[in-house]
Amino acid sequence: MKIVFASLPAYGHLYPMLPLALACAEAGHAVTVATGEPFLDALPVPTVRGIAAGGTLHDVEQETKRNHPTASGLDFVAHLFAETTVRFVEPTVRALFERERPDVVVHEMLNIGAAVAAGGLGIRTVAFSLGLWTPMLASLYEMAGAELGLYLDTMPASVQTPVPLPPARKPIRPVAWAPPMPFTLPDSGRRRVYVTLGTVSYGAVEVLRRAVLATATHDVDVLVAAGPSGDPTLLGELPANVRVEKFVPQAEVLRQVDLIVHHGGAGTMLSALAEGLPQLILPQGADHPFNGAAIERAGAGRALPNETQTPESLAEAVEALLADGPERLAAKRIAAEIAAMPAPTPELLA
């Protein structure tokens, strides 16, 4: 079978699909990933361009702002993913699909342009979940004139939003992926906390610094990921128990820490749950508030919006989540639930 995996060029959009792409390739299927820089020729499977040359999520956001200067919130999100990204993606992938005629196109759920192009050519599509299903996602597909085919859902039932789910839905275990990069934290005998605002930090340097300082007041070792394009020097002088890196192999790190403090991206949230880690979520945008609310509903952590973050509230939340309390027990229960979900295999595409 010839399979194209189509993703917008962003870590949180592309990396969650790669375990399934690799499983399909290992099973003997012809697999290609359609994406953009910086991932072209940088993955363990063949890549092709799947977005207009030079197109990045930043470019798409800027174009959306130019075309809809007064749009904000969910209105901006709708224009971003159901309109602008479709214009950036659809012509490029349509030419690819016409040339290669894949049997199926697996697209991450926000790469709606790939669904439009495949649907127009009569090619079967599979949407890969990047987070919680919401009624707004259904409206994005309707707005773009795209059909939602089979939906592979990475969300465990305990975290799922209480809304009707797509009828053609199959659960799939979320499996973290990152380029091979050995990473071992030294063992000082203290507990370890991982702090990150993801690969797209929304310029929230003060939020990150505030979280790091509050966490470092405890008897812990703190690992900070500033992001691939982040500048660690902007965090200023930090305590001796804090280590800052630009990028770390998150899957490796999560196996070695006791708590994660993060922005609330779905990929990070799911990876932490899979390891049974409680989490403190500091929502910065996109789906982060929904994910923070889901974690609190499930009892596996806490969420603190920016306006409620003080050194005291952050330190209190970190202390509570480091304990062997109800949040840690809930996180471990959800980890067992995730482990029982179907592994990424090509059979799920049937």
CA distance 327 to 259: 11
Distance of CA 42 to the CA centre of its chain: 19
Cβ atoms of 337 and 158 within 8 Å: the answer is: yes
Single-letter amino acid, residue 320:
A
CA distance 41 to 296: 39
CA distance 264 to 268: 7
Structure tokens at 202: 């929304």
Which residues, in sequence order, are bridge partners of residue 152? 128, 170
Supply the pLDDT for residue 231.
76
Element (H, E) at 145: none
Supply the pLDDT for residue 62.
92
Structure tokens at 106: 């697996």
Supply the pLDDT for residue 25.
98
- The structure's pTM equals 0.90
Instruction: Determine the angle formed by the axes of helices 288-298 and 266-274, rounding to 10 degrees.
Output: 30
Residue 145 contacts by C-beta under 8 Å, 6 or more apart in sequence?
116
Element (H, E) at 105: strand 104-108
Supply the pLDDT for residue 233.
84
Q: What is the mean pLDDT of each run of 10 residues along the chain (350 residues)?
A: 97 95 98 96 97 87 94 90 96 98 98 98 97 91 95 95 91 92 90 85 78 96 84 88 91 95 93 97 88 96 94 97 96 98 97
Supply the pLDDT for residue 74.
83
Q: What are phi and psi of 126, to 5 degrees?
A: -130, 125
Whether residue 239 is preceded by a cis peptide bond, meaning omega within 30 degrees of 0, is no
Supply the pLDDT for residue 202.
55
Cβ atoms of 244 and 213 within 8 Å: the answer is: no
Helices and strands counted in the chain (H then E):
13, 13
DSSP secondary structure, 254-291, as one string: HTT-SEEEE---HHHHHHHHHTT--EEE---STTHHHH
Exposure string over 115-133, b if 16+ CB within 10 A, otherwise e:
bbbbbeeebebbbbbbbbb
Using one digit for the tens of pLDDT, what is the confidence trace for 25-44?
Answer: 999 999 999 999 999 999 99
Supply the pLDDT for residue 199.
59
Q: What are phi and psi of 347, to 5 degrees?
A: -60, -25
Supply the pLDDT for residue 172.
98
CA distance 69 to 272: 36
Using one digit for the tens of pLDDT, what is the confidence trace for 311-339?
Answer: 999 999 999 999 999 999 999 999 999 99
Using DSSP's 3-state secondary structure scheme, residue 23 falls into helix
Structure tokens at 148: 């939602």
Q: Show the domains of the chain with their CATH numbers.
A: 2-172 (3.40.50.2000), 191-337 (3.40.50.2000)
Cβ atoms of 224 and 243 within 8 Å: the answer is: yes
